[in-house]
């Protein structure tokens, strides 16, 4: 399934899921999924991700990961690995303390918890448990770059083979409660904080994210864009 934006993927995935549930006479199952999707707010599943990282963020992979969990939940997506109880406990125990405000690389995650159940767009690691308690999503964002090669008189493109983790999402009552920003995630979030401190007109989900980011700033003033600009 190809889409050029998160909003487009959202619409396509909802249609496909609706068609499958209609064919299989699963109206109640579809309603349960729609309740989950509704929790992302009026701007759809893409809304919270765009609120975090700006309009330039297509967030197709992020939206796809959300729908992957729902397709698997209804049996329309099979996975090669599901984490058993002890593996799941190892992953989720103290998760926020391990990654909140810290720099973590993809290689560290895979070394600790093994290969993901599903890899979306080669950068979002999805870990699914045997029990249907929700997934953990680890968003690794590669920063490939072109660098000058001293002595060669030329530039070359270098792939970021071990990217930093940007965000972690874990099972929670709502999007903002389950969101964890790493140090890198805080640094690359929306480059202007005007919407964070002036949330008028935002969706309920965006307002909740703005409140969370204000709390991050109050706990760690060095992360405040306003302070960095004036410092």
Q: Are residues 185 and 85 in the same domain?
A: yes
Q: Are residues 110 and 61 in the same domain?
A: no
Q: What range does the domain containing 202 cover?
A: 195-231
| Residue at a domain's end among 31, 53, 78 | 78
| Residue at a domain's end among 56, 78, 100 | 78
Q: Which of 131, 44, 33 is nearest to 82 (CA)?
A: 131
Provide the domain count of the chain.
Answer: 3
Q: Are residues 157 and 229 in the same domain?
A: no
Concatenated DSSP letters for 52-63? Answer: HH-TT---HHHH
- Supply φ then ψ for residue 199, to 5 degrees: -85, 10
Q: Are residues 134 and 154 in the same domain?
A: yes
Q: Are residues 179 and 102 in the same domain?
A: yes
Give me 207's structure tokens: 């307002």
Q: Are residues 172 and 221 in the same domain?
A: no
Q: Are residues 95 and 172 in the same domain?
A: yes
Does the structure show a pLDDT above 60 at 179?
A: yes
Q: What is the pLDDT of residue 200?
A: 61
> Using CA atoms, how far apart are residues 19 and 68, in angstroms rounded to an integer?
16
> In angstroms, how far apart are the furthest CA atoms of the chain?
67
Q: Are residues 84 and 177 in the same domain?
A: yes
Convert the pLDDT of each residue in 56-94 to its tens digit: 788 999 999 999 999 999 999 999 899 999 999 999 999
Q: Is the pTM of this model over 0.85?
A: no
Q: Are residues 16 and 110 in the same domain?
A: no
Q: Are residues 41 and 84 in the same domain?
A: no
Instruction: Confirm if 195 and 202 have CB atoms less than 8 A apart.
Output: yes
Residue with tokens 């989950």: 36
Convert the pLDDT of each residue in 32-58 to its tens digit: 999 999 888 888 899 888 888 877 788
Q: Tell me the pLDDT of the chain averaged across its residues.
A: 85
């Amino acid at each position: 399934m190809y889409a050029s934006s998160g909003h487009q993927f959202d619409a396509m995935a909802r249609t496909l899921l609706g068609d499958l549930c209609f064919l299989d006479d699963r109206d109640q199952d579809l309603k349960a999924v729609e309740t989950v999707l509704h929790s992302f707010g009026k701007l759809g599943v893409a809304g919270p991700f765009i609120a975090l990282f700006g309009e330039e963020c297509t967030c197709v992979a992020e939206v796809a990961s959300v729908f992957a969990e729902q397709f698997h939940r209804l049996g329309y997506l099979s996975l090669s690995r599901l984490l058993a109880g002890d593996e799941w406990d190892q992953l989720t125990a103290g998760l926020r303390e391990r990654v909140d405000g810290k720099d973590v690389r993809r290689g560290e995650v895979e070394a600790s918890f093994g290969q993901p159940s599903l890899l979306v767009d080669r950068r979002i690691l999805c870990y699914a448990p045997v029990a249907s308690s929700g997934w953990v999503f680890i968003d690794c964002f590669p920063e490939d770059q072109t660098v000058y090669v001293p002595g060669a008189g030329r530039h070359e493109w270098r792939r970021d083979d071990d990217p930093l983790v940007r965000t972690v999402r874990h099972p929670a009552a709502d999007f903002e409660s389950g969101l964890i920003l790493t140090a890198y995630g805080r640094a690359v979030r929306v480059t202007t904080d005007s919407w964070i401190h002036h949330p008028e007109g935002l969706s309920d989900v965006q307002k909740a994210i703005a409140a969370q980011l204000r709390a991050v700033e109050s706990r760690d003033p060095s992360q405040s864009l306003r302070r960095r600009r004036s410092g």
